[in-house]
Structure 1
Amino acid sequence: MTASTAAGPTAAGGRSGGLLSGRARYAVRKVSWAFGTLFFVVCFNFVLFRMLPGDPIGLYTRGRDMPSEQIAALRERLSKPMGQQFLEYLSNPFASSINSVQFNTPVWQLIGERVWPTVLLAGTSIVIASLAGVWIGVRSGWRRGSLFDKVSTGSTLTLYAMPEFWVGMVLMISLPFFPSGGISSPGVDTSTPSGWLDVLWHMALPVASLSLVYLAEYAGIMRASLVDELGQDYLTLARAKGLRDDLVRRNHAVPNALLPTMTLILVNLGFVIGGAITVETVFSWPGLGLLSYQALRGPDIPLLQAVFLLFSTAVIVCTLLADLLYSVLDPRVSDS
């Protein structure tokens, strides 16, 4: 009895220590993967835009009245050995003093001005799509074969197959009383309560376009995850203990089925920042998506290079957060 009692805490402590070290190893592995991927993206970003045909100086100075001394300084900068240019770029790729070709403004200053409109649009869409999609997925998955399940599944599959920009154009045509472009009305002070309401009024259609498409994806994943959980033994045991059906669903089935959806939401948060290009272009929303479209039309190489690096970093960071969150919600992941 004494030996068994003494061995019990030791074994439990060993299991606890092993679990903590497993989580630490998992976190280190994922963080290392993220930094390795970011390093590859930086290298690829440096090489990609230097492989484009044409004279970069001629493209940069096109339509601009620049002194010959400044053009000579630019040519001298690009005539440096490729290795030296790479080391200078690698030292801090986010600290570029090169101006945009179209806007004659430092590229990172332009990006900083366009970040918050995109965060407002994408963040609002993600929140609405997440709440509505999870609710639809839970209800349809818990009551498979019901009328609600058939209607919601058919609707979400239809919405998921529609491109975001096409949904936006349909909404624009169908609901002409909503503003069709811009973030606010001309002359409106957006720092006042009336200005906030004006911004919300302008957000209606672009937010609806993004939310409908992502809602369909979240609802489908949530339904499939919940259906997989319905056959698990722990739900049968919970019912055998006399728990009500709504308690079994809320306290047991939904938390476990929610894990894949939570991961997808975080990953999509990184993609939607760059994926809002079409919606922002359709509605003339002054965010990063519209800025990317304007850079592509140029083409504005310095701005494209900075935007590409920002979008790639956002996807990498959100994927890392999703991996780390998954290990917290489901400790079994860190043991694999």
Structure 2
Amino acid sequence: MTDALAPVEEALAESAARRGRGGSTLRYVAGKLGGALASLFLVVVLGFLLFRVIPGDPVLSMTRGRPVTADQQAELRARLGVDRPLLQQFLDYLGRLARGDLGTSYVYSRPVGELIAERLGPTLLLVGTSTIIAVILGLWLGIKGAWRRGSRFDRVSTGVSLTLWSMPTFWLGLLLMIATGNLFPSGGIRYPDTPPDFLSQALDTAHHMVLPCLTFVAVIYAQYLLVMRSSLLEEMNADYLTTARAKGLRDDLVRRRHAVPNALLPTVTLVFLHLGLVVSGAITVETVFSWPGLGLLTYEALQGPDLPLLQGIFIVLTGSVVAMNVIADLLYRVLDPRVRAA
């Protein structure tokens, strides 16, 4: 009788285990989403207060050089809402944000959402392309350097990456402009007289992207190289690699099939974090090369200060970072069985 009931008991136990895993996954996802929402709320509060302590009066900046009386300045402050108590400004801001309204730019007199949408494309093109190149280059050099630890290749690649990483971005961009002369354009996204067909526009944009893209890649690829190199070095003496070699696998296969997939896990969070930062743009790079993206828009908004525009950019930036961190945490749970077991 006991033997007859054994399969039934095993099936019930397996079903209970599946339900437990499903409940654990739901709790994990709910916890991450709840943490993300809490982070976004804190970001909204911090962003509102942070930009209120920036020195400068937006009304004085908007009326500089114009014959404006004190009464007219007071009327403009009342129309912009900057004369209200701070708490009232914050409540009004939360109400607009709940309706999806990021406000109206002081300087451009246009909805902040429209301005961000216009500048988002160039930033995604430049910084997204640069990030993809930096990830591929950094991971490849990190893998090669770790597998040949102490070799000339390892020393040179690590030294060069650390040197470039320590350089100020704007200074490196200026050096590249001086070094290349007139070989590549030094500003803008395309020439105004470029023919309107797709191929001409694409080639002209790619030509303008060379210097800012090279600057961005040179500064950030070292992060991926160092993380990948460190992760792979930790895996080098693992028992499963010794077993794989004992089975007769070639060194390249051991590295490609066993060591690299496990060493990639710590880089997932870093890669997704930087994918979130893609939306922020590279303020210094876009400013030096006059690239019409969110980075240059942020620099222009700081001159005001254009408070609604700064707050809108800040929310878009932090929202993308929080979203990418959540995706990284969920993907990490899929890739690493130890996280699922915990």
The partner residue of 2:111 within 106, 112, 116 is 106
- Corresponding residue for residue 28 of structure 2: 26
Cα separation, partners in 2 of 1:46 and 1:195, compared to 1, 3 Å: same
Cα separation, partners in 2 of 1:116 and 1:216, compared to 1, 3 Å: same
Determine the C-alpha separation between the residues in 2 that align with 1:231 and 1:284: 49
User: What amino acid sits opposite 2:130 in the alignment?
Assistant: S
- Corresponding residue for residue 48 of structure 2: 46
In the TM superposition, what whole-angstrom CA distance separates every residue of 1:11-47 from its partner, at most 9, and x where no partner exists? 4444444333333222211111111010011122233
In the TM superposition, what whole-angstrom CA distance separates every residue of 1:46-77 from its partner, at most 9, and x where no partner exists? 33334556765555555679998997486164
Instruction: Tell me by how many angstroms 1:80 deviates.
Output: 5.5
User: What amino acid sits opposite 1:226 in the alignment?
Assistant: L
- Corresponding residue for residue 178 of structure 2: 173
Cα separation, partners in 2 of 1:230 and 1:8, compared to 1, 3 Å: farther
Q: Does 1:75 align with 2:78?
A: yes
Cα separation, partners in 2 of 1:36 and 1:73, compared to 1, 3 Å: same
- Stretches of structure 1 that go unaligned for 5 or more consecutive residues are none
Instruction: Tell me by how many angstroms 1:201 deviates.
Output: 0.5
TM-score, with length taken from structure 2: 0.87
The answer to whether the Cα contact below 8 Å between 1:159 and 1:213 also exists between their aligned partners in 2 is yes
CA RMSD across the alignment: 2.8
Instruction: Tell me by how many angstroms 1:4 deviates.
Output: 5.6
Identity across the alignment (%): 49
- Corresponding residue for residue 95 of structure 2: 91
Cα separation, partners in 2 of 1:199 and 1:104, compared to 1, 3 Å: same
Determine the C-alpha separation between the residues in 1 that align with 2:36 and 2:66: 40
Instruction: Tell me by how many angstroms 1:232 deviates.
Output: 1.5
User: What amino acid sits opposite 2:123 in the alignment?
Assistant: T
- Corresponding residue for residue 148 of structure 1: 153
User: What amino acid sits opposite 2:114 in the alignment?
Assistant: Q
| 3-state SS of paired residue (2:264) | helix
The answer to whether the Cα contact below 8 Å between 1:235 and 1:252 also exists between their aligned partners in 2 is yes
| 3-state SS of paired residue (1:284) | coil
Cα separation, partners in 2 of 1:309 and 1:66, compared to 1, 3 Å: farther
Q: How does 1:246-325 map to 2 (within 5 A)?
A: 246-274=252-280, 276-325=282-331
Q: How does 1:96-135 map to 2 (within 5 A)?
A: 96-101=102-107, 103-135=108-140
Cα separation, partners in 2 of 1:218 and 1:55, compared to 1, 3 Å: closer
TM-score, with length taken from structure 1: 0.88
Range moving further from structure 2, 58-67 or 28-37: 58-67
Cα separation, partners in 2 of 1:50 and 1:135, compared to 1, 3 Å: closer
Instruction: Tell me by how many angstroms 1:281 deviates.
Output: 0.7
Q: How does 1:212-231 map to 2 (within 5 A)?
A: 212-231=218-237
Instruction: Tell me by how many angstroms 1:279 deviates.
Output: 0.4
The answer to whether the Cα contact below 8 Å between 2:62 and 2:304 also exists between their aligned partners in 1 is no
In the TM superposition, what whole-angstrom CA distance separates every residue of 1:130-153 from its partner, at most 9, and x where no partner exists? 111111111111222222222212
Residues paired across the two proteins, number? 335
Instruction: Tell me by how many angstroms 1:320 deviates.
Output: 1.8
Range moving further from structure 2, 205-214 or 91-100: 91-100
- Stretches of structure 2 that go unaligned for 5 or more consecutive residues are none
| 3-state SS of paired residue (1:49) | helix
The answer to whether the Cα contact below 8 Å between 1:183 and 1:286 also exists between their aligned partners in 2 is yes
Determine the C-alpha separation between the residues in 2 that align with 1:239 and 1:89: 62
The answer to whether the Cα contact below 8 Å between 1:26 and 1:334 also exists between their aligned partners in 2 is no
In the TM superposition, what whole-angstrom CA distance separates every residue of 1:249-273 from its partner, at most 9, and x where no partner exists? 1111111111122221110122343
| 3-state SS of paired residue (1:234) | helix
Determine the C-alpha separation between the residues in 2 that align with 1:79 and 1:145: 63
The partner residue of 1:158 within 155, 163, 166 is 163
User: What amino acid sits opposite 2:201 in the alignment?
Assistant: G
Determine the C-alpha separation between the residues in 1 that align with 2:190 and 2:154: 39
| 3-state SS of paired residue (1:33) | helix
| 3-state SS of paired residue (1:104) | coil
